[in-house]
Amino acid sequence: MTAVPALLLTRTVDDLRTQVAALKNAGKRIGFVPTMGALHEGHLALVAEARRLSDAVAASVFVNPTQFAAHEDLGTYPRQEARDAELLAGAGCSILFAPDAAEMYPDGFATSVQVGGPSAGLETDFRPDFFGGVAVVVAKLLNQVQADVAVFGEKDYQQLMVVRRMARDLDIPTAIVGAPTVRDAHGLALSSRNAYLSADELAVARRLNGILRQAAEQAKAGDPAAAEAGAAEALLKAGFATVDYVAIRHAESLAPFSGGVDAPARILAAAWLGKTRLIDNMAV
């Protein structure tokens, strides 16, 4: 892999396209990593994968307001652009696109993107506007950057499937690649929202991965519905306040199984600790 230039910061689509065009004109294959900032090792692993698949990587930092409901944490979501830029530079990123809301959603913006299929159920049952907001901002970012490949984390597995379906359906030429979830030493999936957890909550959160792993093994051996119910009960006993869902679904379509697990599958879960909502998933 060739050396990359110093990190270039841009806040406008026009400037972003100029910078990307210069790299493409130099024969560079472009990778892209979209983020909402508050970066951690999980995000940096996405950059590393994008670098492996390309010659130069662009990353975006944009806290997208259209995917937050009125009661959610848009106002308090962690923002640390200077640190994010430093981390991206250290990871070998070439371009940081950090627009404001007016650049992404100018006056008169009136377009929506709706994705069916893998968006049905799970997150949509609890955050009905979420994937509409994700789809429109990702469609815009993919169009703005026009990268050869974009890397998304498998921690947000349903989101990955929605983005992949959207790109396929809309003939977006960027290849959508999923990268494995990065976990701490206890198995907890890294997330920007983990910073909200108290020490006691963190100890409970670290049990989520093990409970899902046990349910995945149970599902392979028998009834997925029983595995789902058992995992939800185990999460409550472990100290989670509420379980939004534990579901075993077809790995690509995210359709439910009508009987036993007879195809590649994924177990997905969302649960609350205090005011913090955690999600996780793994292959079955």
Residue corresponding to tokens 């640390």: 80
Q: Find the catalytic residue in 43, 71, 186, 250.
A: 43
> Based on the number of CB atoms within 10 Å of its own CB, is 26 exposed (0-12), middle (13-18) or buried (19 or more)?
exposed
Q: What is the DSSP string of 131-173?
A: HHHHHHHHHHHHHHH--SEEEEEGGGHHHHHHHHHHHHHTT--
Q: Which residues pair with 57 in a beta bridge?
A: 31
Query: CB of 136 within 8 A of CB of 130?
Result: no
Active site residue 250: no
Q: Positive or negative CA dihedral for 62, 150, 114, 224?
A: negative
Q: Is 8 helix (H, G, I), strand (E, B) or coil?
A: strand
Q: What gap in Å lies between CA 93 and CA 102, rounded to an integer?
A: 25
Question: In sequence order, what E strands does the chain have?
Answer: 8-10, 30-35, 56-61, 95-97, 149-153, 175-179, 242-250, 265-273, 276-283
Q: What gap in Å lies between CA 109 and CA 14, rounded to an integer?
A: 18
Which tokens is 184 given?
């701490």
Catalytically active residues, by annotation: 43
